[in-house]
Amino acid sequence: MAGGELRLRLLLVGAAVLALTAVAGVGGERAAVPALFVFGDSLIDNGNNNNLASLAKANYFPYGIDFADGPTGRFCNGYTIVDELAELLGLPLVPSYSQASTVQEVLQGVNYASAAAGILDDSGGNFVGRIPFNEQISNFESTVSQIAGAIGAAAASSHLARSIVFVGMGSNDYLNNYLMPNYDTRRRYTPQQFADLLVRQYAGQLARLYRAGARKFVVAGVGAMGCIPSVLAQSVTGQCSPEVDDLVLPFNANLRAMLDGLGAGGLPGARFTYLDNFRVFRAILGNPAAFGFAVVDRGCCGIGRNGGQITCLPFMPPCADRDRYVFWDAYHPTAAVNVIIARQAFHGAADVVAPVNVRQLATL
């Protein structure tokens, strides 16, 4: 077959696949957007660290105990936030970048998230292997080139512009950088100065995603971390740490202001929605019974004080009533919490997700 004929056939096949994925979602229903592309850390990683030389892995039982495919690399017992969001958008669960190889696999989205990753390249270094945000963006750029090569630049541009990009970064820049004694950032920067540093770099990274074709962004703030089991375990009385929570408040404030600026014309044609993870998590901890939870002060799977001194080990038996626990392990929430956060992101009011929720963003 001549080169021109092969190219034409690839374009026609790619266009046909694109047309199908634009309308066919889960169960044959129409998807709200063509694709969901995901960037982040262990809160939403779904397997990108599995084949890395990394200490941050979750591809063993009991991780995934409540997930249909078992242990996949998700740092949870079941769904992550973006798993639930994909279903709400009418999309299949998106594959990890490490497992997606064909155009057909990536057209409805890819998850680039990596446990221990941060906004700063050196965050999470104690876990050795991880894929920092800058490298995740490079992987996205490779995906964009792959899609454009199959269906053409114009069709790829339209596809990306209608898709949703979910970004959740920053936790490791605090937990596994600023708060770690072997990093010098706490000696060099005040909390406000560190927040300024992070958000300056974050703005450039989001602009890079924009230049690659992203237009609809959902950006999650850093959640409340002062009551996670690993922090509770560091207190002899098992108390939450207001100091840890206070650290991330300047970052979240800076992030929201930065997104407002980008959405107001800093990046023409782009739309940014801010998800206030911090507010949702504090609401759950403030009145757990109202959300169906009974245990807020220990991990469902872990060792030591508050189940937070050593995180969930291979084949360690977890708690039986996982839906009643807020925390799955020393650092991560249960699937029940993830589903609540995702539904708040999708349906929530402006006090949680602003200026529009994900359902509204999908229609713009």
Residue 359's H or E segment, with its range, is helix 358-363
Is 42 considered catalytic here?
Answer: yes
Is 347 considered catalytic here?
Answer: no
359 CB-near residues (< 8 Å, 6+ apart): 32, 88, 346, 347
Query: Distance (Å, rounded) from C-alpha 83 to C-alpha 231?
Result: 27
Query: Distance (Å, rounded) from C-alpha 72 to C-alpha 278?
Result: 27
Is 329 considered catalytic here?
Answer: yes
Query: Distance (Å, rounded) from C-alpha 328 to C-alpha 313?
Result: 12
Please identify which of the residues 41, 42, 45, 297 carries the catalytic annotation: 42
* Closest of 120, 119, 129, 142 to residue 37, by C-alpha: 142
Please identify which of the residues 98, 123, 245, 332 carries the catalytic annotation: 332
Please identify which of the residues 41, 173, 297, 329 carries the catalytic annotation: 329
108 CB-near residues (< 8 Å, 6+ apart): 21, 31, 34, 35, 36, 91, 92, 94
CB 229 within 8 A of CB 282: no
Catalytic residues: 42, 329, 332
